[in-house]
Amino acid sequence: MLEDKIYKEYIAALKSRDKHKADFLSFIRAELKNAAINVKKEKLEDNEVLEVLKKQKKRLQETKDSVAETARVDILRNVEKELALLDTYLPKPLEENELIAIIDQVFSETGASSMKDMGKVMKEVLARVGVRADAKKVSELVRTKLSTT
């Protein structure tokens, strides 16, 4: 399980005295524990762990964008390290052409033709792509496709 992998890497970081990695993994483990408490489980399933990691990646990306404006190189470097570490746990994101193919398939299956169908299409596409695509990007592509049909 992914949660176990994170725990093992946390222990390895402690043993190797990699303070930054250990602190970040400790934070991630706390987030996972909070999520497990919220859903009243002892341990999360891998897909639930991926959702937590995706939320953290989004938070870090927003932090990176705001820090980049302040020119704080030290903080920016730490955020980039944390993003790189998160990327090791997250599945490889879908390429745009793969995402468009999935959207086209959903369009043909649902018969979507107007903006009224946006919710139905989004729900189905997001169910298929899971954490491998950003919902904002999916929304943008679906909206574009609906406006051209």
- pLDDT digit string, tens, across residues 121-133: 888 888 888 778 8
- pLDDT digit string, tens, across residues 26-35: 999 999 999 9
Give the CATH number of domain 96-148; options: 1.10.1040.10, 3.30.1360.120, 3.30.360.10, 1.10.10.410. 1.10.10.410
Token pair for 143: 């909206």
Integer Cα distance of 32 and 63 in angstroms: 20
Fold matches, 2-89 and 96-148: no
Residue 35 has what pLDDT? 92
CATH H-level, domain 2-89: superfamily: Uncharacterised protein YqeY/AIM41, N-terminal domain (1.10.1510.10)
Domain ranges across the chain: 2-89, 96-148
Of 98, 103, 109, 82, nearest to 148 (Cα)? 103
SS3 45: coil
- pLDDT digit string, tens, across residues 105-123: 888 888 877 778 788 888 8
Is pLDDT of 149 > 70?
no
Is pLDDT of 86 > 80?
yes
Residue 95 has what pLDDT? 85
Token pair for 117: 């169908």
- Mean pLDDT of the 76-100 span: 87
Residue 15 has what pLDDT? 95
Q: At what angle do helices 135-148 and 118-129 cross, to 10 degrees?
A: 140
Is pLDDT of 9 > 90?
yes
Integer Cα distance of 132 and 144 in angstroms: 20
